[in-house]
């Protein structure tokens, strides 16, 4: 099933007082000068998935300044089970609400309408920075396969926050810890199992794939390459044994919230963190493409890809290869670049949209690409 | 639009009524007007009932239910000494259970759930009292009717652990398809829970 965004209307969102994009299902190439609001359009699309979007911004930061009127996004999407109208908005000072087909729903329901993956320039340092970004990247891929993953994560985090509070307050009630660890170990083991399922699906989609991008061998470990407690019983035992140590640290030190995603550039046998900047980017692109292929194979649905400034760090051949692979996958990818020459050679195969802004008014016009 | 003049005491009554759950200033004004116009039929009996409840309402010292006596009618009714205690979070949950009339044992109201973040610990709930009751009243089964939230389930596991030395059977309400419910409209988690709790026909 092809899933894509058909129309997108923004009101008071970031730099756009008002903007409307009509997409016909082809991959979208957004180009225009710096500050025209290209990434803001991508961010608006990312708000059609659960969570805080591709910049992880708070609801208030998304509102156009200085108006302070709050913001609203309306979209028509072709989802896994037909066309849906999605509306998401946040009045000033309030958290964002989501309506699907006019009905108020929890954010998590968005994950069942569209699968969405993204790459941003901030993720260029994903392999060299802390494990948190890699976990988030992994969990987004997991959610594309298993939308219910988000609920396990929420249950786990909620119980962990409670446990961390007990640890910080130096409370020594074993039964209370036991009750929280019971829930952490059940949801935590589910999280780890989901992550392993997703990694397996990615590995299957990588083996033998025709792609210009380097294959990554992925692994799931605990912090500092320690083994990750997998089963409910193991996790429960690890938490119970770690109470004294955790109390000294004031937080929970074992569990899936400490897991790390390891990647090795398969052809060279080199850990991703030691690869060149361009190679690291290529690995990320390779994973996102593998994820899209795996989703088609497993769930029969195509994700929406948001590739911000993806042309940076890629030479002309790799760029052409990326566009070819996106087109071969038949997914709607939203890609940005400053000039249309970055999309040279794609012609009418991509939907070219030029984004400009003058005196606070955004203009988005369709342009044929070279 | 508010009436041009309202004597101070009626104003104060309207303000009090508007603080009740489900009522706002406009419905409060309509309600107070209704009371004042039907003094004998509505206002006086209501005022007397309110005064009596204000005088007598208290928490049952055994189960935490609200009634007008030291021990509530459920705890004093010998027919309800079935050896079963149903544990609920709030009095409203107890009244909801009673509405159905399906349970003929006694209750225990916790007065909330464990929540480290809200600084509610076991001693703030009526958990020690529950353990004493189970020990003293010869209870054979404790039924945990707690919400299916993280806090509710943490509290359930905690109570189960506390009751383990008593050797009493501890059970929890089933989760699944509601009466008259259609599978089509249920979320995946509920269907999964219903499937796990299936029974032989």
- The total of other beta-carbon atoms located within 10 Å of residue B91's CB is 18
Tell me which of 3.40.50.620, 3.40.50.2300, 3.30.930.10, 3.40.1360.10 is the CATH number of domain B66-200: 3.40.1360.10
| Distance between A159 CA and the closest CA of chain B, angstroms | 7
Measured CA to CA, the distance from residue A210 to residue A218 in angstroms comes to 19
User: What pairs with residue B172 in β-bridges?
Assistant: B144
Cα dist from A360 to A19, A355, B192, whole Å: 11, 12, 50
3-state secondary structure (DSSP) of residue A7 = strand
Domains held by chain A: number: 2
| Residues A238, A168 within the same domain | yes
- Is B136 exposed, middle or buried (CB count within 10 Å of its CB: 0-12, 13-18, 19+)? exposed
- Claim to verify: residue A296 and residue A179 sit in the same structural domain: yes
pLDDT digits (tens, 9 = 90+) for B10-34: 999 999 999 999 898 999 999 999 9
Interface contact B122-A178, CB threshold 8 A: no
The total of other beta-carbon atoms located within 10 Å of residue B67's CB is: 18
Is residue B1 pLDDT above 50, yes or no? no
- In angstroms, what is the C-alpha Rg of chain A? 21
CB A126 within 8 A of CB A279: no
Residues A142 and A169 in one domain: yes
* Secondary structure (3-state) at A162: helix
CATH of the domain at A34: 3.40.50.300
Q: What is the pLDDT of residue A298?
A: 86
Contact call for residues A205 and A293 (beta carbons, < 8 A): yes
Q: How far apart are CA A239 and CA A127, in angstroms?
A: 28
User: How high is the mean pLDDT of chain B?
Assistant: 91
Long-range contacts of B170-179 (CB under 8 A, 24+ apart): B170/B141, B170/B142, B170/B144, B171/B141, B171/B142, B171/B143, B171/B144, B172/B143, B172/B144, B172/B145, B172/B146, B173/B143, B173/B144, B173/B145, B175/B148
Q: Are residues A144 and A292 in the same domain?
A: yes
CB contact under 8 A, A176 and B155: no
Q: Which residue of A has its CA nearest to B148?
A: A155
- Other residues' Cβ atoms within 10 Å of the Cβ of residue A273: 14
Maximum distance among all Cα pairs of chain A, rounded to whole angstroms: 68
Beta bridge mates, A119: A307
Instruction: Note whether residue A121 is domain-resident.
Output: no
A143 plus A287 within the same structural domain: yes
**Alpha carbon distance B192, B201 (integer Å):** 19
Is A120 a member of any domain? no
Looking at the domain assignment, is residue A341 inside a domain? yes
Q: How confident is residue B51, by pLDDT bands cut at 50, 70 and 90?
A: very high
- Of chain B, the end-to-end C-alpha distance in Å amounts to 62
CATH 1.10.8.420 in chain B, residue ranges: 7-56
Option in B117, B156, B157 nearest A165 (CB): B117
Distance from C-alpha of B87 to C-alpha of B105, rounded to nearest angstrom: 11
Is the CB of A162 inside 8 Å of chain B's CB atoms? Answer: yes
Which tens digits make up the pLDDT trace of B55-69? Answer: 999 999 999 999 999
Cβ contact A155–B150 (<8 Å): yes
- Of the candidates A25, A18, A80, the residue with the CA atom closest to the CA atom of residue A44: A18
Q: Is A81 on the interface with B (CB under 8 A)?
A: no
What is the tens place of the pLDDT at every residue in B91-108? 999 999 999 888 999 999
Flag if A161 and B117 touch (Cβ within 8 Å).
yes
pLDDT tens track for B66-98 = 999 999 999 999 999 889 999 999 999 999 999
What is the SS3 string spanning chain B?
CCCCCCCHHHHHHHHHHHCCCCCCHHHHHHHHHHHHHCHHHHHHHHHHHHHHHHHHCEECCCCCCEECCCCCHHHHCHHHCCCEEEEECCHHHHHHHHHHCCCCCEEEECCCCCECCCCECHHHCCHHHHHHHHHHCCCCEEEECCCCCHHHHHHHHHHHHHHHHHCCEEEECCCCCCCCCCHHHCCHHHHHHHHHCCCCC
Domain boundary among A249, A279, A300: A300
Among A290, A299, A300, A267, smallest CA distance to A117 is for: A290
Residues A318, A203 share a domain: no
What is the interface pTM, i.e. ipTM, of the complex?
0.73
* CA A141 distance to own-chain centroid: 7
Tokens representing B179? 């009466």
Residues A254 and A337 occupy one common structural domain: no
* Residue A90 confidence (pLDDT): 95
Tell whether A101 is covered by a domain.
Answer: yes
Q: Of B117, B151, B161, which has the smallest distance from its Cβ to A175's Cβ?
A: B161
pLDDT exceeds cutoff 60 at B3: no
What is the CB neighbour count within 10 angstroms for residue A65?
A: 9
- The residue length of chain A stands at 370
Looking at CATH, the fold of the domain delimited by B7-56 is given as Helicase, Ruva Protein; domain 3 (1.10.8)
C-alpha A108: how far from chain center: 14
- Rg from Cα positions in chain B: 22
| Residue spans in chain B of domains classed CATH 3.40.1360.10 | 66-200
**Is residue A35 located within the same domain as residue A74?**
yes
Confidence of residue B197 (pLDDT cuts 50, 70, 90): confident
Domain containing A249 equals 130-300
A271/A361 same-domain check: no
- A9: Cβ–Cβ under 8 A, 6 or more apart, which residues? A18, A19, A20, A21, A73, A74, A75
Looking at the predicted structure, is the pLDDT value of residue B43 above 60?
Answer: yes
Residue B7's pLDDT band (cuts 50, 70, 90): low
- pLDDT above 70: percentage of residues in chain B: 97
Going from the first residue of chain A to its last (370 residues), give the mean pLDDT of each consecutive group of 10, the final group possibly shorter.
91 92 94 93 96 92 86 93 94 93 92 92 92 94 91 94 95 94 96 96 90 93 83 95 95 94 94 92 93 90 92 85 93 93 90 88 89
- Which residue in the block uniquely carries the two structure tokens 């909801």? B96
The three-state secondary structure class of A57 is coil
| Residues of chain A found within 8 Å of residue B122, distances taken between Cβ atoms | 173, 175-176
Give the distance from residue A167's alpha carbon to the nearest chain B alpha carbon, in angstroms. Answer: 10
- Interface contact B116-A166, CB threshold 8 A: yes
Flag whether the pTM goes above 0.90.
no
Chain A residues whose beta carbon lies within 8 Å of the beta carbon of residue B189? 148, 151
| Cβ-defined contact of A183 to B155 (cutoff 8 Å) | no
Residues of chain B with Cβ-Cβ distance to A182 below 8 Å are: 154, 157
Q: Are residues A92 and A189 in the same domain?
A: no
Domain boundary among A300, A322, A346: A300
CB contact at 8 A, A298 and A201: yes
Record: contact B161-A179, CB cut-off 8 A: yes
Which CATH number goes with the domain that contains A194? 1.20.1050.90
The DSSP element (H or E) to which A247 belongs, if any, is helix A243-249
Cβ atoms A255, A273 nearer than 8 A: no
Both A272 and A165 in one domain: the answer is yes
A320 and A295 fall within a common domain: no
Asked if the peptide bond before residue A98 counts as cis, ω within 30 degrees of 0, the response is no
């Amino acid at each position: 099933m092809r899933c894509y965004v058909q129309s997108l209307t923004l009101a008071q969102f970031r730099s756009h007082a008002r903007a409307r994009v009509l997409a016909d299902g082809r991959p979208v190439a957004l180009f225009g000068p710096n500050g025209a609001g290209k990434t803001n359009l991508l961010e608006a699309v990312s708000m059609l998935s659960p969570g805080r979007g591709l910049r992880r911004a708070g609801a208030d930061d998304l509102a156009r300044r200085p108006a302070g009127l709050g913001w609203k996004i309306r979209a028509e999407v072709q989802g896994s089970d037909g066309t849906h109208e999605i509306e998401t908005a946040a009045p000033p000072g309030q958290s964002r609400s989501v309506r699907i087909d006019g009905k108020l729903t929890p954010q998590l329901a968005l994950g069942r309408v569209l699968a969405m993956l993204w790459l941003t320039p901030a993720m260029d340092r994903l392999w060299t920075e802390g494990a948190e970004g890699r976990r988030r990247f992994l969990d987004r891929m997991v959610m594309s396969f298993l939308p219910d993953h988000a609920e396990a994560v929420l249950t786990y985090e909620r119980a962990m926050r409670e446990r961390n509070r007990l640890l910080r307050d130096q409370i020594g009630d074993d039964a209370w810890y036991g009750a929280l660890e019971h829930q952490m170990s059940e949801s935590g083991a589910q999280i780890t199992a989901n992550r392993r399922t997703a990694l397996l699906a990615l590995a299957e989609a990588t083996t033998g794939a025709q792609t210009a991008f380097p294959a990554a061998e992925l692994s799931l470990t605990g912090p500092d390459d320690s083994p990750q407690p997998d089963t409910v019983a193991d996790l429960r035992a690890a938490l119970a044994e770690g109470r004294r140590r955790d109390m000294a640290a004031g937080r929970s030190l074992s569990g899936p919230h400490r897991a790390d995603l390891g990647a090795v550039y398969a052809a060279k046998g080199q850990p991703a963190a030691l690869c060149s900047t361009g190679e690291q980017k290529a690995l990320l692109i390779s994973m996102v493409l593998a994820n899209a292929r795996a989703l088609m194979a497993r769930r029969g649905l195509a994700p929406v890809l948001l590739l911000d400034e993806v042309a940076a760090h890629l030479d002309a051949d790799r760029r052409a290869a990326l566009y070819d692979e996106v087109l071969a996958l038949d997914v709607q990818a939203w890609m940005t670049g400053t000039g249309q020459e970055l999309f040279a050679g794609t012609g009418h195969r991509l939907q070219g949209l030029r984004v400009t802004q003058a005196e606070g008014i955004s203009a988005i016009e369709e342009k044929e690409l070279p | 639009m508010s009436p041009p003049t309202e004597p101070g005491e009626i104003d104060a009554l309207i303000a009090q009524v508007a603080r009740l759950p489900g009522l706002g200033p406009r419905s409060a004004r309509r309600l107070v007007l209704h009371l004042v116009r039907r003094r004998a039929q509505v206002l006086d009996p209501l005022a007397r009932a309110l005064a009596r409840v204000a005088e007598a309402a208290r928490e049952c010292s055994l189960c935490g239910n609200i009634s007008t006596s030291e021990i509530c009618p459920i705890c004093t009714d010998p027919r309800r000494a079935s050896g079963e205690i149903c544990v609920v979070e709030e009095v409203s949950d107890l009244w909801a259970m009673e509405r159905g009339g399906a349970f003929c044992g006694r209750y225990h109201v916790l007065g909330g759930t464990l929540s480290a973040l809200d600084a509610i610990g076991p001693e703030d709930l009526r958990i020690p009292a529950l353990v004493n009751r189970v020990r003293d009243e010869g209870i054979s089964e404790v039924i945990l009717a707690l919400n299916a939230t993280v806090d509710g389930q943490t509290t359930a596991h905690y109570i189960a652990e506390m009751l383990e030395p008593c050797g009493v059977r501890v059970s929890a309400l089933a989760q699944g398809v509601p009466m008259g419910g259609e599978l089509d409209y249920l979320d995946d988690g509920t269907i999964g829970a219903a499937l796990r709790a299936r029974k032989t026909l």
